[in-house]
Amino acid sequence: DQQVKQNSPSLSVQEGRISILNCDYTNSMFDYFLWYKKYPAEGPTFLISISSIKDKNEDGRFTVFLNKSAKHLSLHIVPSQPGDSAVYFCAASGEEYGNKLVFGAGTILRVKS
């Protein structure tokens, strides 16, 4: 009963193109969403977040879109760079969850040069 799902285990993109990573959630009580990036042998690092009162948040090459009615969010990376190759985790939280994050299983992004 995964509450946060990343249905694509991996994604391969050419350098300079757009990378789109998707995430679906089931619990309508989630009101804060995050993306973390993880390199091998390192811990996840925070990338970008969005609260449920917004439908878009942008930070440089990274944009997160939230569609509450569809319970879906996506991370767009434009343009993709080889250094973006990593595992990307979608995470969610909400007031009833306190501080804990509920993560998806991750998507491996490979950016080819």
* Burial class of residue 95 in the structure, from the number of CB atoms within 10 Å of its CB (0-12 exposed, 13-18 middle, 19+ buried): exposed
Residues 76-90, buried b or exposed e (16+ Cβ, 10 A)? bbeebeeebbbbbbb
Q: Which of 103, 107, 109, 111 binds another protein (CB under 8 A)?
A: 103
Q: Does 48 bind another protein (CB under 8 A)?
A: no
Q: Does 88 bind another protein (CB under 8 A)?
A: no
Contact 87, 107 (CB under 8 A): yes
Peptide bond into 44 cis (omega under 30): no
Q: Shortest approach of another protein to residue 6 CB, angstroms? A: 8
Q: Does 106 bind another protein (CB under 8 A)?
A: yes
Q: Does 11 bind another protein (CB under 8 A)?
A: no
Q: Does 104 bind another protein (CB under 8 A)?
A: yes
**Site residues (CB under 8 A) for another protein?**
2, 4, 32, 36, 41-46, 49, 51, 89, 91, 93, 98-106
